[in-house]
Amino acid sequence: MATIAQIKALFESYISKDDERFITYGLQIAAHEAKLGHGKIAEELRRLIDIARKKRDSAESGNTVPLVQPQGELARLLSASYPNTRLSEMILSKEIASRLDRIIQEQRHIEEITAYGLQPRRKFLLIGPPGTGKTMTAFALAGELHLPLFIIRLESIITKYMGETSAKLRMVFDSLQKHRGVYLFDEFDSIGAMRALNNDVGEIRRVLNSFLQFIDHDCSNSMILAATNHPKMLDYALFRRFDDVIEYSLPDNLQISELLKNKLAGFVAENIDYSALAKNAKDLSFAEITRACEDSIKEMIIARKKCVTEQIINQMLQERIRYHSKILNNYNK
């Protein structure tokens, strides 16, 4: 017989919807039974685990879960997908990693938490420079929780007419109620782009306020993520509406080394001095370093080299830095 500890672990993984652990514990119990000479039971368990595994794999590839596709007008306002991104693919500071983990745990225990009359955290403001993982976080949260990711097309929502914009926002927030998912208002400071459409600053404020009210009044089970590269454009009233404000920053030397190692794994043969490379990549974002790694691999392919050398990586990083400072200079003029 399986031990009580094994059965308890099995239940815990079931409650927290952790398929991976559920299957692992199942296999451990099967192995335990086999050891005790209960070959038939062990075989039967393995057969059941195989079925569970197949079910999980097809759910992950989106075969059994029908993708909720927004219909009609809503289809112009939202795009839907089921990402496979995992949090483990991200390089995060200890603090952000533990906060995201907390969010995932609370979402996984949503039924028990609400049964106690409490609310899991679900409204987040993500701030920080471009290329630091704000959008990727939305993908990873949806991936970890097996929830659909809905990205709101702000450019379709924001029109010249305040009434129309509010009506569209209402449609999006109705969808939050109907379809549980991760809803990303990416670069939502573009509400400020209304300035180009309409010079009335008061009007922009009204749109922002109406957005805030929708967030405030929302009591769905969905997650709301608002991401911005320009937190200074927002005032304090906005920050208060969110359960958590998560601040992203450019990678430090250790994080750069880790990113380079991850991205170049399998492509570098020689001993690479990652910390020296990291020093040369100062001020670049995760996104820019990722691109430099991809450029290095492409260069290896085109030049028919066997592996990526330290020199190529350095060159690609330097190119990124040059683009980077050129763009910054142009903007600062």
Residues contributing to the site for Mg ion (CB under 5 A): 134-135
What, of ligand ADP, Mg ion, none, does residue 80 touch, CB below 5 to 8 Å by kind? none
Q: Looking at 131, 143, 148, 181, which residue binds ligand ADP (CB under 6 A)?
A: 131
Measured from the CB of residue 129, what is the shortest distance to Mg ion in angstroms?
Answer: 10
What, of Mg ion, ligand ADP, none, does residue 287 touch, CB below 5 to 8 Å by kind? ligand ADP
Measured from the CB of residue 74, what is the shortest distance to ligand ADP in angstroms?
Answer: 24
Q: Is 331 helix (H, G, I), strand (E, B) or coil?
A: helix
> Considering beta carbons, is residue 135 or 296 the nearer one to Mg ion?
135
Q: What distance lies between CA 92 and its chain's CA centroid?
A: 12
> Considering beta carbons, is residue 138 or 278 the nearer one to Mg ion?
138
Spatial CB neighbours of 290, under 8 Å, sequence gap ≥ 6: 259, 263
Residue 104 makes contact with ligand ADP by CB under 6 A = no
Q: How far is CA 299 from CA 72, 241, 259, 295, 322, in A?
A: 45, 47, 19, 6, 18
CA distance 218 to 78: 18
Tell me which DSSP letter residue 146 carries. Answer: T
What, of Mg ion, ligand ADP, none, does residue 256 touch, CB below 5 to 8 Å by kind? none
Minimal CB distance to Mg ion: which residue?
A: 135
Measured from the CB of residue 214, what is the shortest distance to ligand ADP in angstroms?
Answer: 22
Residue 136 makes contact with ligand ADP by CB under 6 A = yes
CA distance 125 to 144: 19
Q: Are residues 318 and 164 in contact, defined by beta-carbon separation less than 8 angstroms?
A: no
Measured CA angle at 227 (ends 286, 104), to 5 deg: 85
Of 45, 17, 205, 232, the C-alpha closest to 104 is 17
Please give the sequence-ordered ranges of beta strands (E in DSSP) within the chain, or none if there are none. Answer: 78-81, 123-127, 149-152, 182-185, 223-228, 244-247
What, of ligand ADP, Mg ion, none, does residue 212 touch, CB below 5 to 8 Å by kind? none
What, of Mg ion, ligand ADP, none, does residue 133 touch, CB below 5 to 8 Å by kind? ligand ADP
CA distance 219 to 85: 27
What, of ligand ADP, Mg ion, none, does residue 148 touch, CB below 5 to 8 Å by kind? none
Residue 91 makes contact with ligand ADP by CB under 6 A = yes
Measured from the CB of residue 256, what is the shortest distance to ligand ADP in angstroms?
Answer: 11
* Options 215-223, 238-246, 264-272, 282-290: segment touching ligand ADP (CB under 6 A): 282-290
Residue 245 makes contact with ligand ADP by CB under 6 A = no
Residue 130 makes contact with ligand ADP by CB under 6 A = yes
> Considering beta carbons, is residue 19 or 187 the nearer one to Mg ion?
187
Spatial CB neighbours of 303, under 8 Å, sequence gap ≥ 6: none
Half-sphere exposure of 231 (CA within 13 A, CB side): 17
Convert residues 200-239 into a mask of x (bound to ligand ADP by CB under 6 A) and - (unbound).
Answer: ---------------------------x------------
Of 284, 153, 89, 143, the C-alpha closest to 97 is 89
Q: Are residues 261 and 274 in contact, defined by beta-carbon separation less than 8 angstroms?
A: yes
Measured from the CB of residue 254, what is the shortest distance to ligand ADP in angstroms?
Answer: 13
> Considering beta carbons, is residue 45 or 226 the nearer one to Mg ion?
226
Footprint of ligand ADP on this chain (CB under 6 A)? 90-92, 130-136, 227, 259, 286-287, 290
